[in-house]
Amino acid sequence: MNIAKVLDAKALACPMPVVRARKTMKEMETGEILEVLTTDKGSVADLTAWAKSSGHEMLDQKEDAGVFTFYIQKG
């Protein structure tokens, strides 16, 4: 997977991971992949819903030691 940008949103609470992801995604080209790192459990539902409603594709998500990682492709 070719990651264009990494957004470290660890220690940020809802809705900040989504706000930061939206801002970062605006700076990216269609088809590029954004990796988002969060520690907020609510981000699982929030980022998934935001990606879908914004026309982006959630390629993968995982959790390791309390850190949630999301791979979102700009639509």
- Give the integer Cα–Cα distance in Å for 62 and 31: 21
* Catalytic residue status for 14: yes
Query: What 3-state class would DSSP assign to 53?
Result: helix
Instruction: Single out the catalytic residue among 4, 14, 16, 28.
Output: 14
Q: Catalytic site residues?
A: 14
